[in-house]
Amino acid sequence: MNWWLLWIIVFLVVIFTVSIIYSRKIKTADDYVMADFSLGFFPICGSVIATVTGSAALIGGAGKGFELGIAYFITIISFVSFTVVAVTILGPTIRKLKLYTVPELFVRRFGKASALIPALIIAFLYMTPTFGMQLVGMSSILSAIINIPVVWGILIGFFIAVAFTLLGGMPSVAWTDAIQTVVILAGVVLVFVLGLNYAGGVEQVVKNTPDDLLNFFSIGGKELLNWFLVFGPFYVVWQTTWQRVTAAKSVKTGVWSVNIGFIISGLIGLLAIFIGIMALQILPSNTDPDLVYIDFMMNVFHPSIGGLFLVSLLAALLTGATSFLLSGAINISKDIYQGWINPDATDLQVLKAARLSVAAMAILGLLVALFITDIIKIYQIALSFTAVTLVFPVLAAMFWKGATKKGVITSIFGSMIVSFLWYLLGKPFGIHEILPGLITSFVLLIGVSIFTNHSQDEEVISYYHALKQDSIEVDQKEA
């Protein structure tokens, strides 16, 4: 009996049952993309964990642990710390504004023209390739257990992810994410604990592991800085986090559930790195990094047990795929379709546009998956170019009344051009393109804003300070 395949079939039957149940409850676009702003702690926290611990965290993390060792932990320190600080400070403002998307902030603060490029960047430069990244991971699993070509694995993963997303939208994604989180946590913890025992225990692993893989500073300060910047600033503007905060039933629920979800995700990512280090004990040194997690699991466990652990990995990949599709679809349906093409669109038209957007993005993501199979490479590019173009404009909208539309648009285009040229030049001095991109974004935003006037369609306001003052005044009245 093929236990690996049996477990996966059981898993798919369960999640599609949940998706079909929730699909019958979806009547409006808000139901589909934001669960009608009613989600509690468990579905939001679970959804965060299930989305964050996808291909990059588990497959990519184990692969980098196999290659770089504990130094890769810098990425976890980076994205967890940036997220917790950003959500703690900005979460209440995001929730009070009820922001569906990051570009919606641009529309309100800087006018409609400023939001088009951010919408395209998020939907097509980040969400689409990261969806493709999940397909690559799903293909690795399917090709390993049923011996099919990688291309066929990508295609099967594509059809599963698209069908699931089209059916249930945010309600089914959030609740199945919450269920899958239990499977993911159990799977990763058990793979680590039982795998450590299989490898001979802590002393044996430390003894047989090259010293540089257990040295956090082995890759050097410059590389640590590069990894820190690639994975950190992006999470200030990660739209998936914003949507989880907004979909919460209250500010407190949104902030706490997201922060705790990221802290738990960081611990899972750390276990994945350790699993990659342990895998050195039993796998050939030339093993493909993207196959380390799966090969380690299949070597250590009997299929009747290992199949459950494999399901935990598939759960993480599928939920990542659906979340990225859904998040990007909101950009297209709300920011582009309703914002530019059909401003008077009915709710039903927006809902149809969202579902069509899911299909269109999925096809583009499929093309990415078919032509680029390096998971971490896809993720680095997506994170870097999204961060350099959006981080400082978003912070300006939140904190600085002096920012102008001309300053923001110049900052977006200028930082994108500089980052791209830096990348083409081969990353001079060993510095990742995100650093010159962020510096360019900051300088242009400040410089151009100082020498230009606000446009008529701008709302000249610092949302963070304005909404904080409103909250203080409400508290004083209630007292």
User: pLDDT value at position 479?
Assistant: 39
C-alpha dist (Å) from residue 186 to 5, 48, 191, 252, 434: 19, 16, 8, 27, 36
**Given a cut of 70, is residue 113 above it in pLDDT?**
yes
- Span 6-43, pLDDT tens digits: 877 887 787 677 666 666 655 555 555 444 556 778 77
Summary mean pLDDT of the chain: 82
User: pLDDT value at position 201?
Assistant: 87
What residue segments make up the domains of the chain, in order of their start?
34-373
Q: Which tokens sit at 461?
A: 């306001």
Q: pLDDT band at residue 73, thresholds of 50, 70 and 90?
A: very high
Lowest-confidence range among 18-22, 255-259, 453-457? 18-22
Q: pLDDT band at residue 470, thresholds of 50, 70 and 90?
A: low
**Given a cut of 50, is residue 475 above it in pLDDT?**
no
Q: What angle do CA 380, 439, 128 make, to 5 degrees?
A: 30
Using only C-alpha atoms, what is the Rg of the chain? 22
Higher pLDDT, 48 or 261: 261
- Span 324-344, pLDDT tens digits: 777 777 778 777 887 778 888
Q: Is the entire prediction scored with pTM above 0.85?
A: no
Higher pLDDT, 194 or 411: 411
* Pairs from 199-208 (Cβ < 8 Å, separation ≥ 24): 199/278, 199/281, 199/282, 200/281, 204/281, 205/277, 205/278, 205/281, 208/280, 208/281
**Given a cut of 60, is residue 86 above it in pLDDT?**
yes
Q: pLDDT band at residue 474, thresholds of 50, 70 and 90?
A: very low
- Span 120-162, pLDDT tens digits: 888 887 888 888 878 887 887 777 777 778 888 888 888 888 8
User: pLDDT value at position 14?
Assistant: 74
Task: Tell me the mean pLDDT in the region 302-312.
Answer: 73
How many Cα atoms occupy the beta-carbon half-sphere of 382 within 13 Å?
Answer: 25
Task: Tell me the mean pLDDT in the region 279-302.
Answer: 83
**Given a cut of 70, is residue 472 above it in pLDDT?**
no
**Given a cut of 50, is residue 101 above it in pLDDT?**
yes
User: pLDDT value at position 339?
Assistant: 76
The CATH class given to the 34-373 domain equals: mainly alpha
Higher pLDDT, 376 or 438: 438
User: pLDDT value at position 177?
Assistant: 65
User: pLDDT value at position 476?
Assistant: 43
